[in-house]
Amino acid sequence: MTVAEFESALSLAAPPDGLPTPIVALWCDAKGDWARAHSLVDDLQTVDGMAVHAYLHRKEGLEWNANYWYARAGRRFRRPTLEAEWRALVDGLLKR
């Protein structure tokens, strides 16, 4: 799946089957369901899950919590905008 195909899937009522949990969380976030997105990655102890968790807390405005999850994910970078970070996460996770 490409980023463009993933973005097209945002018009669906449910995420496409077979996507990894961190990608489903980003789908939910893009659909405006931050709480569901967070619940999907809240206890997910993978690097990908923690990276999405960090992004979600950054979006929420809790920088201290985002920084904690960025450190756990081993990532110290930030994209200039939330939109750019979302897209980079989607792109990176779809390539795995």
The per-residue DSSP string of 29-77 comes to HHTT-HHHHHHHHTT--SHHHHHHHHHHHHHHT-HHHHHHHHHHHT---
pLDDT at position 76, please?
65
pLDDT at position 31, please?
97
| pLDDT per position as a tens digit, 70-92 | 999 987 666 789 999 999 999 99
| Domain residue extents for the chain | 19-94
- Please choose, from the candidates 79, 65, 73, 86, the residue with its C-alpha nearest in 3D space to the C-alpha of residue 44: 73
Q: What is the mean pLDDT of the chain?
A: 94
